[in-house]
Structure 1
Amino acid sequence: MISPHAGYQYSGQVAAYGYNALKDSGFTRVIILSPSHFRSGKRFRGVSILNAKNIKTPLGLIPIDLDACKQLLDTSKDSSSNVSRKPAILFGSYEGAYQGEHSMETQLPFLQMALNTFKLVPIMVGILIEDDFERVANALQPLIDDKTIVVVSSDFTHYGEGYGYIPFRKDIEKNIKALDYGAFDKILNKDFEGLKTYRKETGINACGIMPIELLLKLLPDNASGEILNYDTSGHQSRDFSFSVSYASILFTKSSEVKSGLHIPLPQEKTSISQQSLLTSEEKVLLLSLARNTLETYTKTGTSQKLDHVTDKLPLRLKEKYGVFVTLKKSGELRGCIGHILPRTSLFQGVIENTINSSSNDRRFPPVDAKEVSDITIEISVLSPLEKIHDPVEFMVGKDGIIIRKGPASAVFLPQVAVEQGWGRAETLCHLCQKAGLSRDAWKEDGMEFYIFTADVFHEGDRT
């Protein structure tokens, strides 16, 4: 994971998106790759291992994995005394490397909240050149197992006079985002050489660029990356004379979707359905579950008992996803309720939202048992939210969208605009009205936009 390290009031919300995905993931060891901002004035080549037994935060002590640290330090011992040109010692405990340095410590409270108990391998990355990346990555690789998460601490573009970086003076917000996403493209494609070239061509001054490049050497071929959230301090303060960019980026292996990381792994702006998130058999199971719930609840006022079948459900249906259940009668909406964020297992979410759609949608009277045979059920399984800063990024027919301004908010699933025949502007106008705002409120300052994709399936669907 790549996580920002600015003051929490600026980057904390972005970082939280990544750490929220780590909850209940079962990781027991954390390797942190932090950049050295050289505040102590001591530049060093290689990486520094903190010489301590524990690190203390206001949330308690974090034990350091002393065996892992010793293993890394031992890799620098050259047993061959006959080598005429010994390689540089890349692992050490360099005095002053951590003095005044915040890039690691800002990650620690998040980790304590997300993982509770774990051991830490604290690594401060100095200057790496030539084959240093390969050598450090090769030394780290044996430590990375299914119980270990690697966290890279980095902010991205630092724009402004104070940072000595002003590559443009017009359309600053737009150009900063383009600059950052150019780097993200190389990172998500695990393109080590491409990122190095991009850095030379643009001068992008992401402070953790070397830890990020090291991460790209560590990632396996089957790792898939996703931008969970992105923001800038300029956007928050409405002042782009100085701006720092923040991103929460998560890489997982395909097998990890079933091992506790409760997020799907779509590429950026690729719909879940294109990746066959759910098999046809799993979709049939969820629709059958919704149908039985609807029939039972409208007759008895209670949901069906599932104790005898829960253990037999596929693992994917026990994972957490945002999900909506939509009821239609003669093609017309009869109820639709769901939750955007993944707060419960998928099968339980289908049960809850089937009941809520049939009885708690205030737009309609409760569904009567006599109506059930005339109702068809549609289920939408949602991807994680992605914050966008320009509604032009909202793709009608592909993305669902949420708007929020102050306490007012509203959501449309991806299929709504298509079913109504709306374009982007018309969809946003209707969404504002749904939120109780003026039709053109989406054009105003202070409006927040979030998009997501959905795997949508319904009864009678044979695809």
Structure 2
Amino acid sequence: MADKMLKKIIVFAAFLALMSASGDSGAKNADLAGSWYSSSEEDLRREIENYMDMNYAASPGGEVIGVLAPHAGIRFSGSVAAYAYDLVRKNAPRTVVLVGFTHHRHYPGKVAVFTDAGFATPLGKAVIDVPLTERFLRYAPEIEGIPDAFSSENSIELQIPFIQAAAPDAKLVILAISDQTAGTWRLLADILAETMRAEKEYVIIASSDMSHYLSYEEANEKDRGTIELIKKMAPEELYDTSQRNDHKLCCGYGAVCAVMSASKKLGADKVEILKYANSGDTSGMRDSVVGYLSAAFIRSDEHPAEARNNGQAEGPVKGGKDMFNAGQRKELLKIARDTIRRKLEEGTRLEVSTEDEELKQDMGVFVTLHKKGRLRGCIGTMVARGPLYLAVRDMAIASATEDPRFPAMSKEEIDEVDIEISALTPMRQIKDPAEIKLGKHGVMVIQGMRRGVYLPQVATDTGWTLEEFMNSLCT
């Protein structure tokens, strides 16, 4: 069964007020200027720009969704970080989401959100995107404004001057994973993807160094292995391997996994390794070194149909050539939301019609609802039972009111849910799982009276290999 997905993110909710310890117009002052990097505006700007100008690497093709950059003192890792930030400079994002972690403070299960109005460095005030930050704060109780998390935190502060130099007009959202457990980074990955799918011209930055305090030769060997994992763009495998190595592969493993996973959900399909070095290369001291890597998560030009939703009225169609055009996607999504609204507010079924012949073709369909990034309902039919536009109407009602896993939605929730529509082409039997194309094909497995179904986005969202996908489905 091949599947094409229609997705639109619509979230309306009361804004939360950002609480700033420095006042509404204030900014947090840098803690590490003068020690980790120059406190002179002129010297700092010249140093960073010189590093970026010395980057002779060709820009990879495609759209940059995320990057990985190191966060040591600029004289140690600045020449490596510059490769990532030169790419950021060339892409000129309007929004930068920075994901670091807390070295010295621990808030179990939390992702800390920076809630001051700005972050002041010798290069000036980096401005926070307040409305977007508020959207992150609304998603889950684990996402919390924690000002102390950003005190003297080099995983965050060492990135700010580079962002200011590379994207001077961009506004920032700053996040720090305190608890880099699997549950926390997976939650953050989901929230990043759901939130940024509605944005335009952005980049997500993961802040992490590589191995710590090994000999020069040992660091090179260990980091080569980690780089190979990163190149596979498999966050679950990276995390599992990190866990087996006492999380000594890279210090920001949770941040890297979250940004990698979110980038995949947003359409990235390849990794470009931009530059690797360690402090032995940059300082000459090779007895005990720290590794540094710049990399980019990119949606390649060869996969234009897997684009993220750039805030348009329509969403992406995953898994190949578009099945429907923008107007058709918009019409189906409107039918779904209007139908739910009529059912919950008036208790009646909306009568709908369409002039579009393609939407009248018989197709199976699933309608999935998410609230604050979490599943709220999902019901569909694998086999066509009538015209697609009517199936969307009926499955939207069923997802909102009949999913046995959840109570029926209330009318107060209507504008808080995201709607995802998966239109299904006819199923066909296969003889070999190797025929399955992850992210494009959905799969039904039948044994006797038992059956299991995964839609295509399951593989995309989890980052599973084909073996992991099938093992989970058949369990």
Q: What TM-score comes out, normalization by structure 1 length?
A: 0.47
Task: Flag the structure with more relative contact order, 1 or 2, with Cα contacts below 8 A and sequence separation at least 6.
Answer: 2
Rg larger in 1 or in 2?
Answer: 1
